[in-house]
Amino acid sequence: MLVLSGIAVVILGFALRFNPLLVVITAGLVTALAAGLDPVAAIAAIGKAFRDNRFIAIPWLVLPVIGLIERGGIRERARTLITRIRGATTGRVLIAYFTVRQITAALGLISLGGHVQMVRPLIAPMAEATAERDAPIDPDTRHHIRAHAAAADNVAVFFGEDVFIAIGSILLIRGVLEQHGIFVQPLQLAVWAIPTAIAAFLIHNARLLLLDRRLRARVGAEA
Amino acid sequence: MIGLEELYILVGMMFAVFALGHVFHRRDPARWRSAGFWGCYAAIFLAGSHLSDLAVGGLVLGMAMLAALCLKPGAPPPTTSADEREASANRLRNRLFIPALAIPAITLGVSLAMKDGMVAGFPLIDPKQVTLAGLAGGALVGLALAMWLIRPPAGAPAAEGRRLADAVGWAIVLPQMLAALGGVFAVAGVGEVVARIATDHMPMAIPLFAVIVYTVGMALFTIVMGNAFAAFPVMTAGIGLPIIVGQFGGDPVIMSAVGMLSGFCGTLLTPMAANYNIVPAAILELPDRNGVIKVQVPTALLLLAFNTALMALTVYPK
């Protein structure tokens, strides 16, 4: 039971809005101590686990490129392009991105997109620009639209990638079932990801249409 | 051969350059704090494989301390004005998209064309790391293309990269820190304890209840651990296989496929899944670090209900 104290640290620390890095490392130390390690061994355990997970940071190598093309004006260009398209709205921009992202993820192409490469330089500026075409937007609305841009990326990938047979989660399921003597083909698992993929598409895009309606109501209220 | 170690050197050099940028930024009163933070991170990449576990742990502890002293002082000063960017956008027009599209194109090209890491019979890339190596290659080619197109001063990649890194701040390190916490949890056996509590206290004599406990449990466990991959083996071994499959004769394929997707609903709801929820909030410079999660709540709950209904209706033999 004592090893759960790390979870308590995480929940409390996040709820009280301490710095997340400090919360997580404290949780790691508390868990390691609760598991019977001495303090020096606890710090070493965290060091080892942190080093073993360095591969997670490799995608940050795109930072200089994205920074440079922002300097070159890519966000401004994205706004200009989208506002030229008649009928483009915040919701429709995000629905288009969601659709492309979910389909490509279902084909195993999950590297086509992402928050740093696509959402920040392209999708969020487009979604904001279409809303701004009708009326100036206040900071809260701007942040809400940006959050929706990030959410569209997440939902599309999560509920698209499992339709692809070679994705990590399918391989993990297969491995776990195999350990218990059940042998399944990846394709069987992928097929059962399709109903939820369709539900995610319908539910999330319906919400994006509602977002459009709320944004329009805001313009109506001000006019 | 290009493997993880070479990529770590590249990442380490990038963060070292960011740290040096802070050292030379004399007007910033917090420059030593920021330089120390990125410097420690750079050291873990450049020298991590040769340092002891304890030394790396010490560096990580130091980074957490520096971050708690408020590494992120607000929006970093812009390197260009809005007018300059507008003028540049009008000059370069759609060519600006070339470097952005080069990154995924090259990542894909490398991972499809060099699956085994061989180039003309010569082993160039570690076959296990082809995708990450492709991504790094894409970033380098994208950088060269952007330099060629935009023709900024030579120091611009470092300055612009640092501008973004400072905008994201400590959130850059959080996913790796959480993965490390997951590793410590695994060593301490946290998952097994949670699963035992769940199975001991849940009413599972009715097939429908077993499905609800499994799907909702996957989501809750994922919220706590930040990762459906951590929840799946524990919940499946604890509830799914013995009860849904073993006791009530459910289909293991449907159970595990839909169960994993129920876990993904939890991923949408938790700050522990920092890569998807906290990092983008920082990247998009949202004032509320939970802003992305709040937007995802309705979708996540509706999909969890859908998954539960789907499994309840299909998993058991008629």
Report the domain count for chain B: 2
Q: How far apart are the first and last CA of chain B?
A: 55
Q: Is the pLDDT confidence value at B75 over 70?
A: no
How does B49-78 read in b/e, with b if 16+ C-beta sit within 10 Å? Answer: eebebbbbbbbbbebbbbbbeebbeeebee
| SS (HEC) of chain A | CHHHHHHHHHHHHHHCCCCHHHHHHHHHHHHHHHCCCCHHHHHHHHHHHHHHCHHHHHHHHHHHHHHHHHHCCHHHHHHHHHHHCCCCCHHHHHHHHHHHHHHHHHCCCCCCCCHHHHHHHHHHHHHHHHHHHHCCCCHHHHHHHHHHHHHHHHHHHHHHHCCCCCCHHHHHHHHHHHHCCCCCCHHHHHHCCHHHHHHHHHHHHHHHHHHHHHHHHHHHHHC
Higher per-residue pLDDT: A212 or B28: A212
- Dig out the tokens for A144 from the structure: 């809400």
Question: Diameter of chain A by CA atoms?
Answer: 66
Nearest to B272 by CA among A33, A6, A67, A49: A6
Q: Is the CB of B317 inside 8 Å of chain A's CB atoms?
A: no
Percentage of chain A lying above the pLDDT 70 cut: 98
Residues B227 and B259 occupy one common structural domain? yes
DSSP structure class, residue B95:
G
Q: Is the CB of B11 inside 8 Å of chain A's CB atoms?
A: yes
Confirm or reject contact between B277 and chain A (CB < 8 A). yes
Residue B122 main-chain phi, psi, to 5 deg: -110, 125
- For residues B88 and B115, membership in a common domain is answered with yes
* 8 Å CB contact between A21 and B279: no
Same domain, B182 and B242: yes
Average pLDDT of chain A to the nearest whole number: 92
Alpha-carbon distance B116 to nearest alpha carbon in chain A (angstroms): 16
Does A3 contact chain B (CB < 8 Å)? Answer: yes
pLDDT of res. B316:
95
Range in A13-17, A56-60, B290-294, B299-303 with the lowest mean pLDDT: A13-17
Return the amino acid letter for A92: R
- Chain B contact set for A205 (CB, 8 A): none
For B:28-47, CB contacts with A below 8 A are: 44-45
Contact A50 B257 (CB under 8 A): no
Residues 6 or more apart in contact with residue B259 via CB below 8 angstroms: B214, B215, B218, B232, B235, B236, B240, B311
The answer to whether B226 and B274 are in contact (CB under 8 A) is yes
Q: Is A200 on the interface with B (CB under 8 A)?
A: yes
Q: How many angstroms separate the CA atoms of A127 and A63, rounded?
A: 22
pLDDT of residue B179: 87
Quote the pLDDT of residue A223: 53
What average pLDDT does the segment B81-98 reach?
92
Is B264 in the A-facing interface, judged by CB distances under 8 Å?
yes
B184 and B121 both lie in a single domain:
no
> Are B266 and B157 contained in the same domain?
no
Is B249's Cβ below 8 Å from some Cβ in A? no
| Average pLDDT value for residue range A117-122 | 94
Over the stretch B34-52, which tens digit does the pLDDT of each residue have? 899 999 999 999 999 999 9
List of chain A residues whose C-beta atoms are within 8 Å of the C-beta of residue B142: 62, 65
Distance in angstroms (rounded) separating the CA atoms of residues B252 and B271: 30
Q: Does B189 touch chain A (CB under 8 A)?
A: yes
Q: Answer yes or no: do B126 and B217 share one domain.
A: no
The yes-or-no verdict on residue B293 having pLDDT over 90 is: yes
Interface test with A, best of B51, B83, B170, B181 (most A CBs within 10 A): B181
B254 touches A: beta carbon within 8 Å = yes
| Whole-number pLDDT of residue A134 | 81
- A-B contacts at Cβ under 8 angstroms: 400
d(CA B234, CA A87): 48
B73 touches chain A (CB under 8 A): no
Say which of A14, A115, A172 has its CB closest to residue B271: A14
**A5, A54, A123, A142: which to substitute to probe chain B, counting the most B Cβ within 10 Å?**
A54
- Among A86-95, B99-108, B167-176, B220-229, top mean pLDDT goes to A86-95
Please tell me the least confidently modeled range out of A16-30, A162-176, B1-15, B140-154: A162-176
What mean pLDDT do residues B150-163 have?
Answer: 93
pLDDT, position B112? 83
A33 pLDDT band, cuts 50/70/90, is: very high
The CA distance from B266 to the nearest CA of chain A, in Å, is 11
| A142 at interface of B, judged by CB pairs closer than 8 A | no
Q: Are residues B89 and B181 in the same domain?
A: no
Subunit contact B160:A150, Cβ cutoff 8 A: no
Domain that holds residue B145: 4-172
Lowest mean pLDDT among A31-35, B117-121, B242-246, B272-276: B117-121
Same domain (yes/no): B223, B304: yes
The domain limits of chain A are 2-52, 62-222
pLDDT at B251 over 60: yes
pLDDT, tens digit, 9 for 90 and up, residues B178-236: 888 888 888 888 877 877 777 777 767 789 999 999 999 999 989 988 889 888 988 89
Q: What is the pLDDT of residues A71-80, one digit of tens each?
A: 999 999 999 9
Q: Residue B103's closest CA among B55, B135, B79?
A: B135
Instruction: Kindly indicate the confidence band of residue A131, based on its pLDDT and cuts at 50, 70 and 90.
Output: very high
- Closest residue by Cα to residue B292 from B281, B283, B301, B303: B281
pLDDT of A222: 60
B218 touches B231 (CB < 8 A): yes
Least confident of A34-48, B25-39, B162-176, B255-269: B25-39
Residues of B in contact with A159 (CB under 8 A): 261, 264, 303
Q: How confident is the model at residue B274 (pLDDT cuts 50, 70, 90)?
A: very high
The predicted structure's pLDDT at residue A139: 95
pLDDT mean over A115-130:
95
pTM, two decimals, is 0.90
Task: Identify the CA nearest to B299 among candidates B315, B274, B276, B275.
Answer: B276
**Residue A70 scores a pLDDT above 70:** yes
Mean pLDDT of B93-112: 90
Are B148 and B189 within one domain? no
Task: For residue B263, give every residue at least 6 positions away whose Cβ sits within 8 Å of its Cβ, in sequence order, or none.
Answer: B218, B219, B221, B222, B228, B231, B232, B235
Please, which pLDDT band fits residue B71 given cuts at 50, 70 and 90? low
pLDDT of B20 > 80? The answer is yes
Q: Would you call A3 and B190 a contact, using CB atoms and an 8 Å cutoff?
A: yes
Asked if residues A90 and A214 have their Cβ atoms less than 8 Å apart, the reply is no
**Stretch B67-85: mean pLDDT:** 74
Instruction: Name the residue of chain A whose CA is nearest to B78's CA.
Output: A71
CB distance A151 to B300 below 8 Å: no
Same domain, B12 and B150: yes
* Average of per-residue pLDDT across A118-123: 95
Residue of A nearest to B60 (CA): A47
B120, B144, B172 — which closes off a domain?
A: B172
- Angstrom CA distances, B120 to B3, B87, B116, B266, stand at 18, 44, 11, 45
Does an H or E element contain B198, and which?
Answer: helix B190-201
The nearest alpha carbon in chain B to A113 belongs to B104
Please give the distance of CA B161 from its chain centroid, rounded to a whole number.
Answer: 18
Average the pLDDT over each of A17-26, B51-60, B126-135 and give the range with the smallest value: B126-135
